[in-house]
Structure 1
Amino acid sequence: MKKYLIVLLLGGSLLSGCKKNFLDLTENPNYPSTATAVSLLAPAEVKTAAIAVDPGLAIVNVWMGYWAFSPNYAVNQDSRDYRFTNTLGQSTFTNIYSNAYDYQKIIDFAVAQSDPALEGMGRTMKSFLMQWAVDIWNNVPYSQAFQGTANKAPAYDDGKAVYEAIYDDLTVAINKLKTASSFPDATQDLIFGGNKTKWIKFANTVKLRILLRQSGRADRASYITSKLAADFPSSGGTISSYFLQAGEGAVVNPGYVNTDLKQNPYYANFGYNAAGTKTGNNDFYKASSYSVNFYFLQNDLRLFYVAKPVSTGGITFFGYHFLGNEMGSQGNGAVTYSDNLDNSPIGGPNGGIPYRSATDPQPIMGDFESLFLQAEAVQRGWFTGNAKTIFNQAQLQSFIFDFDRVDGAGSGAAYQAMLTPTADNNWDMATDKIKLIITQKWAAFNTINFIEPWTEYRRTGYPPIPLSSSGSRGPRIPLRLKYPQTEYDLNGSNVNTQGTIDQFTSKIWWMP
């Protein structure tokens, strides 16, 4: 029997977002005067990792062709037509700003305590988050934000101005990191364990991502050229010395365990609870036919990482059945879904092979993301190097992250070698190298990051994701989210200066 549910696309989707857990900071920004910068770092890093897979943005995975709605639910028409209210993404907005405020407090305490390492880390992470904020909402509060009770209604800044400000703040962060002689240990810094070189590379990699976002605008060419010359001169090192390399991803694992509120954030929201009962999101979202077919047609074993086999029907892949649904459709048509015929968005136990678990690490910026960025930068002529080699390494690191933890060292490389070469996965066969890079980045991000694949699609148009099959759908995949209702309720005088927002026509500033 179908479970009739009108999905209202509330900010927290079907479940709430970042719940209280063993490393959460208080949501009320009243930090004790005795706090130290280092005591705030690990909890803040855990929150950043959770934002990458915030359930408030679950619908974006449907837009991106990863997921579809379960035929077991009656989904309202707006959800299938790319139409939504100001509540969509509201929890994500709150979480980004709460987390950025955490890092602002780290900066403030670090300055007071003369700790350049923590100041550099705080500035890096705050800039990282604010890039996401601009990428989702364009103009956002920045210059007057993060003041706590001193300013509860910050003005909105131009998205381009925020981008330029966070880029410059990353320069400050790098200089602070370079001068620091003492760094936190691995229990205090969950991302890099206090590794100075990796933190500097991470800040540089965020800079590179900021510049690549602007690459589609001809009027930003001189800005990009000037920043590349100033920050990454060939005399200062090679591309590998500037940016995160294989094995150097910004990944968090505070000790996730299979206990409620202490699980990996993706698994907790889209997988199973500690008792093994699947979550509401797991039941509501299913793998899409587009993603299932994409991996299947390329003999890409990452299908096992992102989807759970069904008992029958669909396509047969290494002896397992996979069945996807279309966005906009209320049913596959060929098969009746039931609890034992459930193509889930979480890998989970696949025939006894648990590629996804409650204890998985959660990437903030995986090494594969950094390498895909570098491959694109070299292909665009920004750096010298071998774009093909970097691309192949990026693809490999995606396979390694997905499989080596379970199947052992070398598994990812073996599975990568099993790919059927196509223009969507093979450098030599692809005539459009940028399309290839972005498409493989899309394949790597599935269930790992909700923000970046949508952002890269909006920047490049790749991969060519089919639009909703609903006859009343909007004209395109949304360009942005609307400002959250909480902003209209609490900061109305400022958010109203932004005018009427249309998800189909209101662009992010870096869009051509």
Structure 2
Amino acid sequence: MRTKDIINPKKLLILALVFAVGFSSCKKFLDINQNPNNPESTTPDLLLPTVELAVGQIVGNSFQINGNFYAQYWTQNPNAPQYKIIDQYGQKGTNFDVSWRGIYRSILGNAQLIINNKTPNTEQTKGMAYILKAYGFQLATDGFGDVPLSQALQGVEFRSPKYEAQSLVYDSIFNYIDKGLALLKTTTSNNPGNQDVIFQGDLDKWAAFGNTLKLRAYLRISYKDQARAKAGIMAIYAGNPTFLNQDASIQYSSVGGNENPLYNEMVALNKTPNLVASSSAVDAFKASNDQRQFKYYDSLKNNSHIITSIPQGSYLANLNKTVSQPSVTVGANPNNPASAVVPVKLMSLSESKFLQAEAAARSLGGTGDVTTLFKAGIEASFVAVGLQVSDAVSYYNQATIPYGLTALTAAATPEAKTQIIITQKYFAMCGFQGFEAWTEYRRTGYPNFLVPSKASLLGGTLMPQRFVYADSEATTNQNYPGTVAVTVPVWWQTTK
């Protein structure tokens, strides 16, 4: 939330409600079984920020923490206990009750309220709601696999909504984005303006967001159904699209209750530093002389050029060791109040460039120049953490690094180029987009240097491939499909 909006009492109430998703049962939010066909007496422009901020709460807190652990940017501090269960791959359904409620009640439920609202001249706001609905369903299905879809938002008619195949969820995601993009073009509609906390009502930016989200979704299924993905991507490019040329993000402030969700989580834990650097990521940064490591992590005191890390999940073997923590740059330093105002990135500029680069490298319909897009993705990542474009150029021009420009040029196959592109995307997402980085690892197998956690309860080389369903579903939904092990791949995962 932008500072200029803090004085608005309505928005203070919205923030108080949205952030309650992370810390309470949030009974006032739309229940999965409440009726969105009978919306409350409010207008779509006032509901819009509740959806957006709920997305920020999920992406910036629970999915952020789990994703950064599973992507092996972060691991548990040996001198604190909070997230050991994540490093152990031992989470249970109760660990995801809050996230499930946040997605289905606060994101999808309120988005549906906007869509069903009868207030005239609100088509543009409804277009935004459709795109956010697509985003919310992608979060749900990429995290959990098969999820409630067609019956989930239909109110009391379906008290136990059925679970539907992930392939059908993706069908709906594409459909929602198309509906959203079409509604954004309505010229007679009122614009939500600053009630939109992502783009402040800028329709061109929303269209670029929708196009980029659609490209992400088609690439997600591209190893499972390449023909469909290629046809979809070709259709995107045939429309002469714009893609994100800036982050799609939510801004926060230092005013109580309006802070970055991860920072709020850390404050609730008495500012105990639970997160430290994982050697999986840090060793890769060091091997390439990557200056971003000093932005993503805090150097040891009195030495600005040393980042220390421990192997993933090795907290028992490193008791009392001093380990670098994630930095204020990514909003993960609990003792630096500047973490409070760090944005949550729903999609980043660097991700946009890397998505376009992959679509071109694999000949899936992307028409851009692979090398140009690859360099632009790295440059955007460097600039995002306060470095210069010249720093990025010096970095990717190193002839000996495994994922630089020389390696990309020498890559003999589309898949070899893709490995380099995705690995650079991984470096760019460190600390900011943990869930997306883990999801891309599951999709592609890149980067290829991740290893099972030392604390794993799974045994062997097994690693998490999904989240477990919320316990609340097991106890309240008669169509609950039963426990699915975290080691079971989701539908779009393949063994290449």
TM above 0.5: yes
Are the counterparts in 2 of residues 56 and 89 from structure 1 also a CA contact under 8 Å?
A: no
Residue 95 (structure 2) aligns with: 88
* 1:445, distance to aligned residue in structure 2 (A): 1.4
- 1:459 is paired with a residue whose SS is helix
Q: CA deviation at 1:486?
A: 0.6
Q: 1:103 to 1:332 in 2, by over 3 A?
A: same
Give the drift of 1:119: 1.5
Q: Separation in 2 of the partners of 1:290 and 1:418? A: 23
Query: What's the offset of the Cα at 1:423?
Result: 4.5
| Residue equivalent to 1:367 | 349
Q: Distance in 2 between matches of 1:16 and 1:34?
A: 21
Residues 185-240 of structure 1 deviation map (CA, whole Å, 9 limit, x = unaligned): 541112122222221221111111111011112xx23322332344432xx42xxx
Residue aligning to 1:27: 29
In the alignment, is the contact (CA less than 8 A) between 1:56 and 1:90 conserved in 2? Answer: no
With 144-153 and 129-138 compared, the bigger mean Cα shift is at 144-153
User: 1:344: how far off?
Assistant: 1.6
What one-letter code is carried by the residue in structure 2 that aligns with 1:487? E
> Conserved in 1, the CA contact under 8 Å of 2:143 and 2:467?
yes
Q: Which residue of the partner structure matches residue 12 of structure 2? A: none
Task: Give the distance between the partners of 1:147 and 1:423, measured in 2 at CA.
Answer: 53
Question: Could you tell me which residue of structure 1 aligns to residue 3 of structure 2?
Answer: none
- Unaligned stretches of 5+ residues in structure 1: 1-14, 404-410
Mapping of residues 306-385 of structure 1, within 5 Å: 306-311=296-301, 319-331=304-316, 333=318, 336-337=320-321, 341-347=322-328, 357-381=339-363, 382-385=365-368
Q: Quick one: structure 1 residues 472 and 132, their matched pair in 2 at CA, closer, same or farther if it must change by over 3 Å?
A: closer
Q: Identity percentage over the alignment?
A: 28
**Per-residue deviation at 1:32?**
6.8
Matches of residues 106-505 of structure 1 in structure 2 within 5 Å?
106-109=114-117, 111-217=118-224, 220-233=225-238, 236-237=239-240, 241-245=241-245, 247=246, 249-253=247-251, 256-270=252-266, 279-280=271-272, 283-311=273-301, 319-331=304-316, 333=318, 336-337=320-321, 341-347=322-328, 357-381=339-363, 382-403=365-386, 411-419=387-395, 421=398, 422-430=400-408, 431=411, 432-464=416-448, 465-470=450-455, 473-474=458-459, 475-491=461-477, 493-495=478-480, 498-504=481-487
Relative to structure 1, the CA distance from residue 390 to residue 135 in structure 2 (aligned partners, 3 Å threshold; closer, same or farther) is same
What is the letter of the counterpart of residue 366 of structure 2?
F
Q: CA separation in 2, counterparts of 1:25 and 1:359?
A: 28
Q: CA deviation at 1:135?
A: 0.7
Look up the equivalent residue of 2:441 and give its one-letter code: Y
CA distance in 1, matches of 2:85, 2:192: 49
* Cα deviation, residue 145, structure 1: 1.0
Q: 1:152 to 1:322 in 2, by over 3 A?
A: same
Question: RMSD between aligned alpha carbons?
Answer: 3.1
Amino acid at match of 2:381: S
Give TM-score, length-normalised by structure 2: 0.83
**CA–CA distance in structure 2, aligned partners of residues 86 and 25 of structure 1:** 19
User: How far, CA to CA, are the matches of 1:89 and 1:444 in structure 2?
Assistant: 27
Deviates more, 1:221-230 or 1:292-301: 221-230
2: CA distance, partners of 1:350 / 1:126: 28
Distance 2:146 2:361 in 1: 30
* Residues in 2 aligned to 1:445 and 1:17: alpha-carbon distance in whole angstroms: 25
For residue 285 of structure 1, report the CA deviation from its aligned partner. Answer: 1.9
With over 3 angstroms needed to count, the CA separation of the structure-2 counterparts of 1:302 and 1:101, relative to structure 1, is: same
Change beyond 3 A, Cα 1:367–1:25:
farther
CA distance in 2, matches of 1:94, 1:489: 14
| Cα distance in 2 for residues equivalent to 1:179 and 1:346 | 43
**Contact 1:142–1:156 at 8 Å: present in 2 too?**
yes
Give the partner amino acid of 1:481.
F
Aligned to 1:101: 109
Q: Greater helix share, 1 or 2?
A: 2
Deviation at 1:260, TM superposition (A): 3.3
8 Å CA contact 2:89, 2:456 repeated in 1: no
Report the counterpart of residue 9 of structure 1 in structure 2: none
Q: 2-side partners of 1:38 and 1:185: how far apart?
A: 5
Partner Cα separation in structure 2 for residue 332 and residue 356 of structure 1: 32
- Separation of aligned partners in 1, 2:262 and 2:332: 17
Matches of 1:423 and 1:373, distance apart in 2: 22
Give the structure 1 partner of residue 7 of structure 2.
none
User: Quick one: distance in 1 between partners of 2:282 and 2:151?
Assistant: 45
Query: Is the contact made by 2:277 and 2:323 (CA closer than 8 Å) also made in structure 1?
Result: no
Distance 2:20 2:256 in 1: 14
CA contact (8 A) 1:305 1:355 kept: no
Preserved contact between residue 244 and residue 367 of structure 1 (Cα < 8 Å): yes
**Displacement after TM superposition at 1:25 (Å):** 11
In structure 2, relative to structure 1, the CA distance for the partners of 1:423 and 1:355 (3 Å cut) is farther
Q: Quickly say closer, same or farther: Cα 1:347–1:297, change in 2 above 3 A.
A: farther
Asked whether the 8 Å contact 2:222–2:230 carries over to 1, the reply is: no
Question: Structure 1 residue 329: deviation in Å?
Answer: 1.4
TM-score relative to the length of structure 1: 0.81
Q: Secondary structure at the match of 2:328?
A: coil
Provide the C-alpha distance between the structure 1 equivalents of 2:360 and 2:463, rounded to a whole number of angstroms.
Answer: 29
**CA 471–263 in structure 1, closer or farther in 2 if over 3 Å, else same:** closer
Is 1:399–1:412's contact at 8 Å kept on the other side of the alignment?
Answer: yes
Q: Match of 2:345, SS?
A: strand
Give how far 1:105 is off.
0.8
**1:287 & 1:511 partners in 2: Cα distance?**
28
Give, as a single letter, the amino acid of the residue that structure 1 aligns with 2:259.
Answer: Q
Q: Measure the CA separation in 1 of the matches of 2:332 and 2:111.
A: 39
Out of 178-187 and 96-105, give the one that drifted further: 178-187
Is residue 53 of structure 2 the alignment partner of residue 46 of structure 1?
A: yes
Structure 1 distance, partners of 2:362, 2:131, is 25
Give the counterpart letter for 1:302 in structure 2.
R
Q: Partners of 1:260 and 1:194 in 2: how far apart?
A: 25
User: Cα offset for 1:476?
Assistant: 2.1
1:259 is paired with a residue whose SS is coil
